[in-house]
Amino acid sequence: MILHPLSLCILLLEAAALFLLLQSLPALIQGHLKWDPGSASVLQLRLEPRIEIAFFRNQLGFGLFAMAYLMWIIGVSNVYSQSIPGAMCGLGVIEALSRDALPLVILKSLCLLIYFLFFCVRLETGKYPLGTYHKKTMALLLLLLPISMVSFWQTFQALTSIDASQSVHCCAALITQTPSLAGEIHIPFEPWHAKILAVLALALVALCHLGVIRNSNAQIVLIPIWLFSSHYWLKHQILPYVYGVLEHPCFWCAFRPQYYSQGFIYLGAYLIIIGLAIRIWIATKFPEHRPKNNRGLKVCFWVTVFVYELTALTPACLWKLQSGQWIQ
């Protein structure tokens, strides 16, 4: 699959992002060791513009990596399955990636997360005229470098390992083969239990946003709880209405055009909510944090939650209106 034009795009964008990071490396190392904000030394006067350029390069790099990530999601969910026998959705493509699949997903998501952290920290530290906290930003980029290199290598290997002549099993076979954890150890965990947990988590996040809960780190714990429980509820209670079958908890099928590519809305909502939560949290970590500045972000957060819930509930409501009953 390496010669697929989409694969070339993905690799080109990731390579460009990595190249921009590597180009910034000497300045980042020197800056991290010798940064002396406000000093009139020759070294500091030379370092300042180089560090600004390094930050800008990597902001561009973040944009490129995000585009590559989006292209990869599009490729896995809709494009590569057209060339892999047996693959009907992204799950079949992931199966074709074989042993490279899980590390690749983790690495790419981690890379995206660190790039985003860098972007948020840069937005905050850029507000300080003396560049007092620039070292934190440089440290994040230095942390990103090895992860980015491994991610690029894994992406390259994964794309070369897909053999379009080998048939794979897809979701209908794979999901029945994989027992759920709740089923294995007989936990009576119903989808509506997950929904209650998700609602509770969101309520606590609302209290954080309103200032009732003053611990700013609480969000970072609550958002993953919301994410996993909401996703469990979506897969087991909502997707049946999307697919029109009793049980088919395959998230990748939701990306297919015949289901109006709703998967992109769900995934987009998850990423935006996580991103906004991180952005709001990081803003509280800097001494000159002004809560009023976060109001816009909080509004965006709740609007996204509303759009997600509305998109999730619409298929179920439409089913009920058309057939007069819920799926049982």
Residues that bind other proteins (CB under 8 A): 1-9, 12-13, 16, 37-38, 40, 45, 48-49, 52-53, 56-57, 60, 64, 67, 71, 74, 78-79, 82-88, 126, 129-131, 134, 164-165, 167, 172
Half-sphere exposure of 171 (CA within 13 A, CB side): 16
Closest approach of other proteins to the CB of residue 168, in Å: 11
| Integer angstrom CA distances of residue 273 from 8, 117, 153, 179, 221 | 30, 14, 29, 29, 13
Kindly tell me which of 40 and 181 has the beta carbon lying closer to other proteins.
Answer: 40
Single-letter amino acid code for the residue at 57:
R
Kindly tell me which of 37 and 191 has the beta carbon lying closer to other proteins.
Answer: 37
Distance (Å, rounded) from C-alpha 144 to C-alpha 133? 18
Closest approach of other proteins to the CB of residue 136, in Å: 14
Kindly tell me which of 72 and 281 has the beta carbon lying closer to other proteins.
Answer: 72
Kindly tell me which of 56 and 306 has the beta carbon lying closer to other proteins.
Answer: 56
Closest approach of other proteins to the CB of residue 277, in Å: 27
Q: What is the DSSP string of 40-102?
A: --HHHHHHHHHHHHHHHHHHHHHHHHHHHHHHHHHIIIIIGGGTSTT--SHHHHHHHTGGGHH
**Who's near 292: CB < 8 A, 6+ residues apart?**
none
Q: How many CB atoms lie within 10 A of CB 248?
A: 16
Distance (Å, rounded) from C-alpha 91 to C-alpha 123? 37
**For tokens 């029109």, what's the residue?**
244
Kindly tell me which of 65 and 226 has the beta carbon lying closer to other proteins.
Answer: 65
Kindly tell me which of 8 and 221 has the beta carbon lying closer to other proteins.
Answer: 8
Kindly tell me which of 93 and 194 has the beta carbon lying closer to other proteins.
Answer: 93
**Who's near 14: CB < 8 A, 6+ residues apart?**
64, 65, 68, 151, 152, 155
Closest approach of other proteins to the CB of residue 222, in Å: 35
By the 8 A CB rule, do 205 and 248 touch?
no
Q: Which two tokens stand for residue 33?
A: 């060791």
Closest approach of other proteins to the CB of residue 163, in Å: 10
Closest approach of other proteins to the CB of residue 261, in Å: 11
Kindly tell me which of 50 and 231 has the beta carbon lying closer to other proteins.
Answer: 50
Distance (Å, rounded) from C-alpha 6 to C-alpha 15? 14
Identify the DSSP state of 237: I
| Integer angstrom CA distances of residue 247 from 86, 87, 240, 243 | 20, 19, 6, 9
